[in-house]
Structure formats: C-alpha cells, structure tokens
Structure 1
Amino acid sequence: MEITGYELFEVPPRWVFLKLETDAGVCGWGEPIVEGHAKTTKAAVEEMIDNYLLGKDPLEIERHWQALYRGRHFRGGPILMSALGGIDQALWDIKGKHYGAPVYDLLGGRARDRIRVYQWVGGDTPDAVARAAVEEVENGYRALKISVVSQLKRIDTPAAVEHVRDRLEAVRDEVGDDVDVAVDLRGRVTSGMAKWIAAELDQYDPMFYEEPVLPEHAGTLPRIESHTKVPLATGERLYSRWDFKQTLGSGAVDVLQPSPSHAGGISEVRKIATAAESEDVLVSLHCPLGPISFASCVQLDTTLPNAIVQAQNLEIHQTAENDLLNYLEDPSVFGFEEGYVSAPDAPGLGVEIDEKLVREQSKSRVDWQSPVWYHDDGSIAEW
C-alpha cells in the first residue's frame, strides 16, 4: 500500500481538513490548522506531502514523522508542527482502517472506558456567564471553562480585578461546588497581574488556571505558583516534546494541554503525555477545533492514564441540527453521557466524514482572523 494523493479543504468556521489517499482505496482524515493561518498551514502540508510522502507506505508512521521533522533544517513552531500533526492524524486513521481497529487499540489499548469533557462558557457580564453556565450544567456537563478576563492593562485597577472576580463568583454561586470550573486567563495578563488575580480567585476553587501567562514567559510560572493553591495549566501554544520539556522542568505546572492538531499529531502528543506522567503531571488535551481533531483527542484520552478532562466546543451533547457536527455522517458517534464521552470503536479515528458536505462548505470564503485589541494608550493588547 502506498500514498497516492491528497486533498485539503478549508471549511467554516475556521478549520482545515486533510484527506489522504492510498492505492488500496483506504483514505485517512486529519485536521491540520493554525487558526488565523489556514492558507499558510495548507501550504506547509502541501510541501510535506509533495516533497516526501507521496509514494510512501502509510503504515510506517514513526519513520515518516521523523523524516518530516528531522529531514528539515528549520523545524518546529506552530505552522510546521500543525501541518505535521494533521498528516500524522490521517496516517493513524489509515492504519486503523487497514487493521480494522480503533487507534486506541494500536496504541496499547484502553486505560479507561470514557473521559470527562468540559464545555466552554462565555458571556459579556457576570450574570450572562452564570446563566450560560447553568444551562450547560443542565445539558449534562459537570466541568466548565470560562474566560474571566477580556482586556486588562499590564497593571490594572482594583475595579478591573473586582470585575474579574465577579465573573467567577457569579458562576460558582449558580452551579455550586459539585461542578468543576476551569479559569482561562489566555495569556492576556502579565505575571504581576496573574499573581493578583489568582489571589482573588482562589477562594472560588477553580479546577485550574489555564495559560496564566504567555508561553514565552513560562519562566515566571514558579512565582505565580507560589501565590496560589490552584493547579496551573498550559500548553496550547507549545508544539513539541522539546517545548514541553522546558515547561515540565519548571516544576510549576500541574496540567499540560497539548493539541494533536498543533503539537505534531497523535504520535507526538502521546510522547508528551508520557513525559508528563513521569513527572506526576496531568494532561487535558486542547481542542477548540473540529470533529477530526476531537476524535484524535478522544482516541488518545482512552489510552492515557494521566488524562483528566477533554476540551471541546462542538456542543457534542446536542447532535440534532448541529452545524459543527454535521461534517460527520453520524453526529452522535462520540456517545456523550453524563458529562463524559467515549471513543468510537470503529476502525481508525472512528468517525466517518460527510465528504459531500465538506466539499460544499469548502466553497465558502472562510479566512478567519483573530481581532486586534488596543489599550487606551494605543499600544497592542493580548487577545
């Protein structure tokens, strides 16, 4: 069996799907995307496949991963690792279909039967966030994630911090103490503000603080950790085991958040998670993306003993008339129940793509871009 061709589809809301074809008629799907850089990521995928992968045996996944990574003088970073990640997902999908087994069986089998999932909750005011949180709990989620900060100055006022506190307080008051609430700081604050915010929010017992600072400021994480009882989480903007090695070395992070669509695919994320396990660090795979990326995450979660909760924003509890799940032939394939999801047991990634819909939607103009925020003095703020 050899790889004979591929197609790339940019589809709403901001995703890229890769279809990898073989001469045996077995096709695999992956999701290589850097949000806001779809065209650049697609070009990187094309270079990797055209210059190396065509004509190769798709079953030799590790050899191909090493060649696509080490066979380049310049390596790593979001674009190249996301391109490699999507290709790796598609190769695992092919391999599973070839052997008639789900990916988790090829990775050693189940470490669990299901994984808890959390739902992202938003809103412009504390009351709005609280109402949205209650709605998601009623939908069956027992874990939520909220962003408590929008735009903060590098050192902001007590009133601004009070507004941050009010958002989490409102959610905790409404959902009670039996629901986990993760707090995403999105790297929007300085390390000084992160300490202040953590000191104010600790009383509401968040599940963890996500990206308290940007990854380039990871050296400040020990200082932040010393000011909070709450676990720290990071990793959505780290792209390889070597990036995560430095973060693990700080000893300040309790939860790593690699994404199979950004951090080199299923192959690399498994190695990152194993390294984390050796340091008694947990993983919560990051996935604000589409159903192929989510399927890759759930296949991994099933095999990883240190996975604790899975990110998603597909609203997987609601399968009827769900635009985000309509790319699947069977939108209910993930089996959401009581806040948990189980991995599909069909071969490969376990999902069947509605290729007709993908082709139709790929004719849309997508070109999603993140906004640019400004402080009141005209300087650029973190989004």
Structure 2
Amino acid sequence: MKIKDIKIFVSNPGRNFVTVKIITDNGVYGLGDATLNGRELAVVAYLEEHIIPCLIGKDPHQIEDIWQYLYKGCYWRRGPITMTAISGIDMALWDIKGKVANLPVYQLLGGKSREKIKVYGHANGQNIDETLDNLGHLVDEGYKAVRLQCAIPGLDGTYGTLDGKKDYYELQSNRPLPPEQLWDTSEYLNFIPQLFQKAREKYGMDIELLHDVHSRLTPIEAARLGKTLEPYNLLFLEDCVTAENQSGYQQVRQHTTTPLAVGEIFNTIWDAKELLENQWIDYIRTAVTHAGGITAMRRIADFAAIYHVRTAPHGPPDISPIGHAAHAHLNSWTPNFGIQEFIGFGGAPLNEVFKHPLVFENGHLLINDKPGLGVDFDEKAAKKYSYKKSYLPISRLRDGTLWNW
C-alpha cells in the first residue's frame, strides 16, 4: 500500500479548521487535524509546499519513519507551524492503520486503561453571578469538573469572556488587525479569589474547579495567587506563568500546594522536559494537534508518568472533531490520564461537516469501536463554509505595554 494523494481542506463551520486527508492506492484514506488558530494558512502552505511532495509513494504504515522524516529531515525542527503540520499527517496515518486493521486507534496503542474519559467544561461570565449561574447549568448537565473564568471589573474583554461577544470573529469586528484588550494584574489578583470563594459557598467542595491564568503573571505573582486559592481546593491552576523559562515554575511550586498545569502551546517534549523531570507541574496539557500528533503525544505521556504527572490535553473549539477524537483514543489508553478539556460538540454546521464517535454522559466522554479514529468528513458540506480570517486578541497594560494574552 502506498500514499497516492494528500488533500488539504480549509473550512469554517463555526471556526477555521485545516483538515488533512491522506488517500492510499487501495482506496483507504485517513483524516488528520492540522489547525493552528490564527495561523491556519501558514500550516496549509507548509503542508502543500514542503510535506505533500515528499510523501507521495511512501508506505502509510511506516508511521514512525515518516514522523522522523518530517521532524529530523527538515533540519529546522520544532515550532508551531512545523509541528502542527506533522500532527495532521500523523493523525491521518494512524487513522489509516486502524481502518486497515479494522481496529480503533486505542487498541493499536495497547488497549483501554479506562472505560470513560473524565472531562471539564467552561463556565464564563461578565460578573460573578453570571459565572456561577453558568457553573450551575454545567453541574445540571452532569459535569463533575468546571473551569471558571470571569470578567474583571474595570477591564473590557477579559480572557475567557470575549467582552460579551459570541466568538473571536465578532470580537474583531472586521478590523484588519488583532483586537486589543486591557490588562491589570493587581485588579485581577484581588478579584479572582472572590470568584472561587463564592463558588465554594454556593456549590460546596464536591465539584472540582479549575482556572486559567493564560500566562499573565510573573512567577511570584502566580505563587501569590496559588497560595490565595489554596482554601478552595482547585483541581489545577492553568498556565499561571509563561513557560519559555521552565524554571519559573520552580518558584511557583516552592510557594503553593495548588496543583499546576501547563502545555497547550508546547510543540515538543523538549518544551516540557525540565518541568516534568523536576516535578514542577502536576498536569501536562499538550495537544495532539500541536505537539506532533499521536506518535509524539504517546512519548510525552510516558515520560510524564515517570514523574507522577498526569495528562490533561488542550481541548478548545479551534481543534476539530478529528483532533478531539484523537485525544479520546489517547485518553482511553494513557495510564496516567488526568482529565480532558471539553467545550461541547459544536453547532449544526460543525456536525454537518464532521461526524465523530464521541458521546457525553454524566461528566465523561465515551468512545465507540469504529476502526481508526472513527471520524467522517463531508467534503461537499465543508465547501459551504469558507475560511474567515481572524486573529486572537493581544493584551496591553494600562500604560500601553504589550503583555501576554
């Protein structure tokens, strides 16, 4: 069996998605997700100009060799564009292998470590009352773990709330440049503990709560926040500090027992090496779409397990159902799986383009036994939803200094 053709589809059934379809000479095909939010077309160009010509005629079963070929063979290793492109190819190859073997991908990885996949949802709001009302709705739906994000008084468009807008396209309002949002660390640090205090007062300690800082604090500021939140027993505090300097998490770890999670923008295991081997974090949040696909995620999970770190893959709405299905297969297998971020199954356009094997039930995802990843992609439907250029926002301090969004 040989790779006969590779097609790339860019569609927007609610969000922009880059879908990879690898077609073999015997008619079996595999699907992969190569979406990089805000830089989608850069990945498309990388795939079309630099990867596809190199793979035609190769044996799709040689997943490991192809992964090494794309990673080591380009010399300019790592980075979000390269690794997202590799991720899309890798997922599609695993999908093919599963279809040929007539087995779901999790069986190819070694079988299930669990029968269901614990997930957490998002409760956002423009104020504390709205956030807690949304938390209540998720609890009623069966969620056992929920991330809380709330607009900070005096700041428009706090991360996770979109300033009352429904999506990033509306937030951008047809402007040619990224939208800008104001940030004030002092106001944030003074406000967020109030949110979790009132959440615990209203819902008690049974529901697991999480919070995403989105890398906006220095290590000592993050340490202060973690210490302040200790009475509210968070499942984890996410992205409290930028991780380019991994030792920043050492400082946070020394000052708080609040569990720490990071990794959604990591591209390789090297981004997390010091964090894992020094046990500075508790959850690694690398995503199958951005960290090299299933092949690389399996290595990261095994390395993390040595240091008592659990996986908690990134699961935003800009990962397509193909990527979410790949996470589900990995999560089913991963012995040290912790929890999966889950934002629901999307609206009618998304479910028209992608048919997936996942079911939500009582705070968990269930996956069926369809061969491969179990996802179908409707090319004709995808053509109805054209790519729509959009940027993620940027943040500035009150004096105009550019800050981490």
TM-score range, shorter chain: over 0.9
Contact 1:215/1:237 (<8 A) preserved: no
SS at match of 2:353: coil
Contact 2:246/2:272 (<8 A) preserved: no
Q: Offset of 1:86 from its aligned partner?
A: 0.8
Aligned partner of 1:219 in structure 2 is 247
Aligned partner of 1:23 in structure 2 is 25
Q: Offset of 1:323 from its aligned partner?
A: 4.0
Using the TM superposition, name which of 165-174 and 109-118 deviates more.
Answer: 165-174
**Per-residue displacement from partner, 1:137-185 (whole Å, max 9, x unpaired)?**
111111111235737999843x542211222233333332111111111
The question of 1:336 aligning with 2:373 is answered: no
Equivalences, count? 374
2:327 to 293, 297, 305: 297
CA distance in 2, matches of 1:4, 1:49: 14
Aligned partner of 1:379 in structure 2 is 401
Using the TM superposition, name which of 214-223 and 67-76 deviates more.
Answer: 214-223
The question of 1:265 aligning with 2:278 is answered: no
Larger strand proportion, structure 1 or 2? Answer: 2
Q: What does 1:161-180 align with in structure 2 at a 5 Å threshold?
A: 161-180=189-208
CA distance in 1, matches of 2:93, 2:50: 13
Aligned partner of 2:169 in structure 1 is none
Q: Offset of 1:23 from its aligned partner?
A: 1.2
SS at match of 2:22: strand
Contact 1:219/1:250 (<8 A) preserved: no
**Per-residue displacement from partner, 1:104-153 (whole Å, max 9, x unpaired)?**
11111111111111112211211111111111111111111123573799
Aligned partner of 2:353 in structure 1 is 327
Q: Where does structure 1 lack aligned partners over 5 or more consecutive residues?
A: none
Aligned partner of 2:336 in structure 1 is 306
Aligned partner of 2:64 in structure 1 is 62
Q: Offset of 1:214 from its aligned partner?
A: 0.8
Aligned partner of 1:197 in structure 2 is 225
Q: Which amino acid aligns with 1:49?
A: I
SS at match of 2:308: coil
TM-score under structure 2 length normalisation:
0.88
Q: How much identity, in percent, do the aligned residues show?
A: 33
CA distance in 1, matches of 2:235, 2:205: 11
Q: Offset of 1:265 from its aligned partner?
A: 0.1
The question of 1:370 aligning with 2:392 is answered: yes
SS at match of 2:315: coil
* Structure 1 ranges of 4+ moved more than 4 A: 151-155
Q: What does 1:29-178 align with in structure 2 at a 5 Å threshold?
A: 29-147=31-149, 150=158, 156-157=185-186, 159-178=187-206
CA distance in 2, matches of 1:206, 1:378: 33
CA distance in 2, matches of 1:16, 1:244: 26
Q: Which amino acid aligns with 1:69?
A: Y
Q: Would the alpha carbon gap of residues 242 and 381 (structure 1) be closer, same or farther in structure 2, given more than 3 Å must change?
A: closer
Q: Which amino acid aligns with 2:335?
A: P
Q: Offset of 1:327 from its aligned partner?
A: 2.6
Q: Where does structure 2 lack aligned partners over 5 or more consecutive residues?
A: 153-157, 160-180
CA distance in 2, matches of 1:365, 1:305: 38
Using the TM superposition, name which of 133-142 and 174-183 deviates more.
Answer: 174-183
CA distance in 2, matches of 1:254, 1:195: 15
